[in-house]
Structure 1
Amino acid sequence: MAWPPQFLDELIDRTDLVDLVGESVRLTKKGNSYWGCCPFHSEKTPSFHVVPDRKIYKCFGCGKGGGAINFVMELDNLSFREAVEVLAKRCGMQVPDSGASPGAKERREKLLTINKQAARAFHRWLYAPEGAQGLAYLQKRGLSKGTLTRFGLGFAPNRWDALIQELSKEGYDKRDLLDAGLAVSNKDGRIYDRFRNRVMFPIIDTGGNVIGFGGRVMDDSTPKYLNSPDTPVYNKSRNVFALNIAKKSKAGQVILTEGYMDTISLHQAGFDSAVASLGTSLTPDHAQLLSRYFPQAILAYDGDGPGVAAAQRAIPLLEKAGLKVRVLRMRGAKDPDEFIKSYGREAFQRLLDQSENQVDYRLDQIKKKYNLEDDAQKVAFLQEAAQMLSTLPSAVEREIYGGHAAQTAGVSPETMALEVKKAFQQRLRKEKKKQERRDLAPAVNQQPQTRELRYENIRSALAEEGVIRLLLLDPGLAGEMSGLTGKEFSSPLLGRVFDLLMDRAGQHLNLSLAALAGDLTAPEMDHMARVAQKPESVANSRRSLSDYIAVIRGEGLRRSGQSEDALLLAAQKKNLEKKAYMEEKP
Structure 2
Amino acid sequence: MRYSDDLIEEIRLKNDIIDVIGGYVQLKRKGSSYFGLCPFHNEKTPSFSVSPSKQMYYCFGCGAGGNVFTFLMEYENFTFPEAVKSLAERAGVKLPDLEYSKEEKRKADQRSRLLQINKEAAKYYYVLLRDHKGCQGLEYLKKRGLSDETIQRFGLGYSDKFGGGLYKFLKQRGYPDEDLRESGLFNSDERHGMYDKFWNRVIFPIMDVNNKVIGFGGRVMGDGKPKYLNSPETKIFDKSRNLYGLNAARLSRKKNLIICEGYMDVISMHQAGFNHAVASLGTALTSPQASLLKRYTDEVLIIYDSDEAGTKAALRAIPLLKEVGLSTKVVNLKPHKDPDEFIKSEGSKAFEARLEKAENSFLFEVRMAERDYDMNDPQGKTDFLHYVAGRLLNFEDEIERNNYIESVARVYHIELATLSKLVGKLALKGAGIIKTKKPKSGIHSDREKESGTDKAQKLMLTWITSYPDIMEQITDYISPDDFTTDLYHKVAVMIFEQYHEGEINPARLLSRFDDSDETRKVTALFNAVIPLNSDAEKMQALSDVICNMKEHSINYRSSRLDPTDMQGLQEVMRDKKALEQWKENGIRLHISFD
User: C-alpha displacement at 1:300, in angstroms?
Assistant: 1.8
Q: Quickly say closer, same or farther: Cα 1:230–1:46, change in 2 above 3 A.
A: farther
Residue 561 to residue 368, structure 1, CA distance change in 2 (3 Å):
farther
Residue of structure 2 in register with 1:19 after alignment:
19
- Structure 1 residue 400 corresponds to structure 2 residue 401: no
1:260 CA drift (Å): 0.8
CA 1:465/1:322 → structure 2, altered by over 3 Å: closer, same or farther? closer
In 1, the alpha carbon distance for the partners of 2:74 and 2:26 equals 17
**1:25-64 paired onto structure 2 within 5 Å:** 25-64=25-64
**Alpha-carbon shift at residue 302 of structure 1 (Å):** 0.7
User: What is the CA-CA distance between 1:422 and the residue it aligns to?
Assistant: 3.4
Cα gap change, 1:493/1:196 in structure 2, threshold over 3 Å: closer, same or farther?
A: farther
> What residue in structure 1 maps to residue 523 of structure 2?
529
More displaced, 98-107 or 361-370? 98-107
The offset of 1:48, in angstroms, is: 2.2
1:370-406 CA-to-partner distances (Å, cap 9, x unmatched) read 2222121111122222223443542552243222343
Instruction: Summarize the Cα distance change of 1:200–1:557 in structure 2 as closer, same or farther, 3 Å threshold.
Output: farther
Check whether the contact 2:246–2:278 (CA below 8 A) recurs between aligned residues: yes
Query: Is 1:520 equivalent to 2:514 in the alignment?
Result: yes
**Which residue does 1:419 correspond to in 2?**
422
Change in Cα spacing, 1:382 to 1:32, as seen in structure 2 (3 Å) is same
1:129-208 superposed matches below 5 A: 129-183=132-186, 193-208=196-211
Residue in structure 2 matched with residue 441 of structure 1 by the alignment: none
**2:120 equivalent in structure 1:** 117
Q: Counterparts in 2 of 1:485-524, with a 5 A limit? A: 490-499=484-493, 511-524=505-518
1:72 shift after superposition:
0.7
Q: CA deviation at 1:527?
A: 1.3
User: Deviations 1:86-108 (Å, cap 9, x if unpaired)?
Assistant: 11111111112133557366665
Aligned counterpart, 1:243: 246
Give the 5 Å matches for 1:186-335: 193-231=196-234, 233-249=236-252, 252-291=255-294, 293-294=296-297, 296-319=299-322, 324-335=327-338
Equivalent residue for 1:572? 573
User: 2: distance between equivalents of 1:471 and 1:243?
Assistant: 40
Name 1:337's counterpart in structure 2.
Answer: 340
CA distance in 1, matches of 2:86, 2:393: 44
- The alpha-carbon distance between structure 1 residues 454 and 478, as it changes in their structure 2 partners (threshold 3 A), is farther
Partner of 1:440: none
How far the C-alpha of 1:83 sits from its partner, in A, is 0.8
Q: Aligned to 2:382, which of 376, 379, 384?
A: 379
Provide closer, same or farther for how the CA distance between residues 154 and 506 of structure 1 changes in structure 2, counting only shifts above 3 A: farther
Tell me: CA distance 1:153–1:504, structure 2 relative to 1, closer, same or farther (3 Å). farther
> Could you give the per-residue CA deviations for residues 184-241 of structure 1, whole angstroms, max 9, x where no partner exists?
6779997654434432211233433323322233345444333334556544344322
Deviations 1:271-294 (A, max 9, x none): 333221223333454445445555
Q: Note the alpha carbon deviations across 1:342-366, whole angstroms, 9 max, x for none.
A: 4444544454454433344233212
| Native 8 Å contact 1:449 1:527 kept in 2 | no
Amino acid at match of 1:525: T
Cα deviation, residue 427, structure 1: 6.1
Match of 1:78 in 2: 78
Q: Is the 8 A contact 2:426 2:432 kept in 1?
A: no
* Deviation of 1:303 (Å): 1.4
- Are 2:462 and 2:527, in contact at CA under 8 Å, matched by a contact in 1? no
Q: Which range moved further: 543-552 or 33-42? A: 543-552
Distance 2:284 2:266 in 1: 15
Q: Please state how far the C-alpha of 1:563 moved relative to its aligned partner.
A: 9.3
Structure 1 Cα separation of the partners of residues 196 and 447 of structure 2:
38
Deviation of the 1:68 alpha carbon: 1.3
Alignment pair present for 1:388 and 2:382: no
1:75-134, Cα deviation, whole Å (9 max, x unpaired): 101111101111111111111213355736666555443332221111112223443443
CA 1:43 to 1:404, structure 2 compared with 1: closer, same or farther past 3 Å? same
User: How many Å separate the matches in 2 of 1:571 and 1:242?
Assistant: 62
Please give the alpha-carbon distance, in whole angstroms, between the structure 2 residues aligned to 1:220 and 1:201.
18
Task: Give 1:556's aligned residue.
Answer: 557
The residue matched to 2:412 in structure 1 has which SS?
helix
Partner of 1:6: 6
Q: Distance in 2 between matches of 1:159 and 1:518?
A: 52
- Give yes or no for the alignment of 1:68 onto 2:68: yes
Q: 1:74 to 1:460 in 2, by over 3 A?
A: closer
RMSD: 4.5
1:387 counterpart letter in structure 2: G
User: What amino acid sits opposite 1:402 in the alignment?
Assistant: V
Letter in 1 for 2:35: W
Aligned partner of 1:574: which letter?
D
- Between the aligned partners of 1:121 and 1:503, the Cα distance in structure 2 is 56
Question: Secondary structure of the residue that 1:391 maps to in structure 2?
Answer: coil
- Whole-angstrom CA distance in 1 between matches of 2:185 and 2:225: 19
Distance 2:551 2:401 in 1: 53
User: For residues 330 and 98 of structure 1, do their structure 2 counterparts lie closer, same or farther at Cα, with a shift above 3 Å needed?
Assistant: closer
| Higher deviation after alignment, 369-378 or 312-321 | 312-321
Q: For residues 147-172 of structure 1, give each alpha carbon's deviation from its aligned partner in whole angstroms, at most 9, with x where no partner exists.
A: 21121111234555543432344443
Q: Quickly say closer, same or farther: Cα 1:492–1:582, change in 2 above 3 A.
A: closer
Q: Tell me which amino acid in the other structure corresponds to 1:273.
A: H
**1:115 corresponds to which letter in structure 2?**
N
Distance in 2, matches of 1:453 and 1:412, equals 42
Matching residue's letter, 1:54: K
Q: Distance in 2 between matches of 1:467 and 1:274?
A: 45
Q: Match for residue 445 of structure 1?
A: none
Contact 1:467 1:545 (8 Å CA) reproduced: no
Unaligned runs of 5+ residues in structure 1 are 436-447
Which secondary structure does the structure 2 equivalent of 1:200 belong to?
A: strand
The 2-side partners of 1:177 and 1:479 are apart by 60
Residues 115 and 213 in structure 2, CA contact (< 8 A), matched pair in contact too: yes
Distance in 2 of aligned mates of 1:490 and 1:201:
53
User: Any idea what SS the aligned residue of 2:204 has?
Assistant: strand
Q: Counterpart of 1:202 in 2: which secondary structure?
A: strand
Task: Please give the alpha-carbon distance, in whole angstroms, between the structure 1 residues aligned to 2:289 and 2:528.
Answer: 32
TM-score by length of 1: 0.80
* Paired amino acid for 1:529: T
Residues 31/355 of structure 1: CA separation in 2 closer, same or farther (3 Å cut):
closer
Separation of aligned partners in 2, 1:19 and 1:418:
49
For this pair of structures, how many residues does the alignment match? 568
Q: CA deviation at 1:137?
A: 3.1
